[in-house]
Structure 1
Amino acid sequence: MNQSFLSHGLDSLVTFNPISIHSDTQLGELLERLYCTGLHHWPVVNRHHQVLGMVTDRDIIRFFKSHRLANHANQGARDEYRIPVADCMTRPVETISSDGEALEALERLLAHHFHGLPVLNGDSLCGLVTTSDYIREFAYSSHPTRDATVGQVYDDSPTIVDSHMLISDLYEKLTRERLDYVLVTEGECALGVVTARDVSFHLCRQLAHSAFDPNHEDTKRAVDMVKSTSCVRVSADLGHVATILLEQNIRATMVCQRGTEPAGVITEDHILGMLCQQERILNLAANSPASVRSIP
């Protein structure tokens, strides 16, 4: 019988009583909270703690970009920070019941390309489960997918950007080409991976700075966004990679073919996609007629 952590409930994965905000919370206040906590996902609730929407750092940046384009003169720019989060939140929101299974929640995260899913007790928010929670649980588990290799799932032809590219230009490229990550290089030397989530979070912190200091400038380039120079072998197992992602608090890392020669990128989504696929296979095998007949 399949007894993996994905066949159980959500208890070991969920962050209970997550920090939430109200729809009339102002963007300036949210940016300050984001800066202080480092959180990426903010459930928006009413006074009964029912979920109205979700705000992520990517939602915030998307809103500010479009809002400023709509106001060419940028007059009263500071007023932007007094706009309620209801104006930029995503709705309706995909949620899952607290008595749902871990596999179901993971399938929803991957299907919708989300990284956070509100967990409900009845119709009230009680928790939040994220892709990082799954990577943590997978890293400490004995799930058979741990033995799968990087070579089975990694991206061997990632988009490459020059290390001197400005962050603003990198954001535009990621958005325009709908990329989740890029490989940053200097000449023929690969330096590391930068994800769209890294860029959005950095831009949110920059907005938080500018809310209090209108003259604040940040000219960071792509190389400054590289959080890790780790490089895993194509032959490495996914359990090892998950541990690296967890310990270094990163979402992606370089893959090397031989020695330190870069061959591509592997992300937490690549790992979780394989995990989800293998779990389905395990479930089919456990529920097949032959399997049932073999049970004494």
Structure 2
Amino acid sequence: MSVADFMTRGVKTVSPDTKINVAVSTMKESGIHRLPVVDNGQVVGIITQRDIERTTPSKATSLSIYEMNYLLNQMTVADAMTKDVKTVNQNESLEDAIYVMRQHQIGVLPVMDNGELVGIITNNDILDAFLDVTDYKEDGTVVQVFVEKDRPGVIFEIGEITANSGVNIQTLMVTHQGTTKVVEIHVDKADVSVADKLVQAGFKAQEADHYKERVKN
């Protein structure tokens, strides 16, 4: 999965000399919380609602409403933006983007292609990507297979059992519980129990409880 597969395109931007009140209006009108700052085609920063709140006078200030409005009309994006902005290339993997965001405790990365801004990737985009790869919205059954001793060909064996049962695997993920690998497969709904077939073949398997609860709700 690449960043380009899940990034938000058609990004609204502002220039460093844009007035703060204009940037705020742009965010409100577009229902967004951050704007890349571009100067002469180059990304020079990013401005977020938090940046603006940190820079503008608070409600506890002794300034009058007229003085506050005057300050806001004078302040520009350059006065509030984060200048040390991290970026990611559109061809990099989604995991690379997540790693950078986690390392720097940030919720957005401008996405570049040959030095040109082509999109942004946000926490919400990454959550949408997770729902997409897990087929969350697709009807079916989630089966967990617990592999305590990993071995070559185990995924093939699981796939063979589901195929012989006439059931299609929609998605497959591998996670860890300590030293145990958990192979979680999302399969088509069927009359046959895939979990039972896997148990009969010697696997430790069960239908996922969290999926059962979601179906009930």
Shared fold (TM-score greater than 0.5)?
Answer: yes
Instruction: State the match for 1:79 in structure 2.
Output: 70
Contact 2:47 / 2:81 at 8 angstroms: preserved in 1? yes
> CA offset at residue 59 of structure 1?
0.8
Q: Assess if the C-alpha contact under 8 Å between 2:57 and 2:68 holds in 1.
A: no
Q: Could you say which residue in structure 2 is the equivalent of 1:44?
A: 37
Report SS of the residue matched to 1:24: coil
Deviations 1:247-280 (A, max 9, x none): xxxxxxxxxxxxxxxxxxxxxxxxxxxxxxxxxx
Contact 2:27–2:34, Cα closer than 8 Å, also in 1: no
CA distance in 1, matches of 2:121, 2:133: 17
Helix, strand or coil at the partner of 2:26: helix
TM-score w.r.t. the length of structure 1 is 0.44
Matched letter for residue 35 of structure 1? K
In the alignment, what sits opposite 1:12? 5
RMSD: 2.7
Where does residue 173 of structure 2 map in the other structure? 144
Gaps of 5+ in 1: 1-7, 149-234, 245-296
One-letter amino acid matched to 1:116: V
SS at match of 2:72: helix
Whole-Å separation in 1 of the counterparts to 2:132 and 2:35: 27
Out of 5, 29, 35, the residue aligned to residue 22 of structure 2 is 29
- Is residue 2:48 matched to residue 1:56? yes
2:27 and 2:45 mapped to 1: Cα distance? 17
**Structure 1 residue runs of 4+, over 3 Å off?**
71-75, 145-148
Runs of 5+ unmatched residues, structure 2: 135-171, 178-208
The 1:126/1:32 distance shift into structure 2, 3 A limit, reads same
SS in 1 for 2:4: coil
Rounded Cα–Cα distance in structure 2 between residues aligned with 1:34 and 1:134: 21
Q: CA offset at residue 97 of structure 1?
A: 1.4
> What is the Cα deviation at residue 145 of structure 1?
6.4
1:100 corresponds, among 87, 92, 106, to 92
Please give the residue correspondences for 1:108-257 in structure 2 after superposition, counting only pairs within 5 Å.
108-142=100-134, 144=173, 236=210
User: How many residues are treated as equivalent by the alignment?
Assistant: 143
More helix by share: 1
Q: 1:77 to 1:104 in 2, by over 3 A?
A: same
Q: Which has the higher strand share?
A: 2
User: How far apart are residue 107 of structure 1 and its match?
Assistant: 0.7
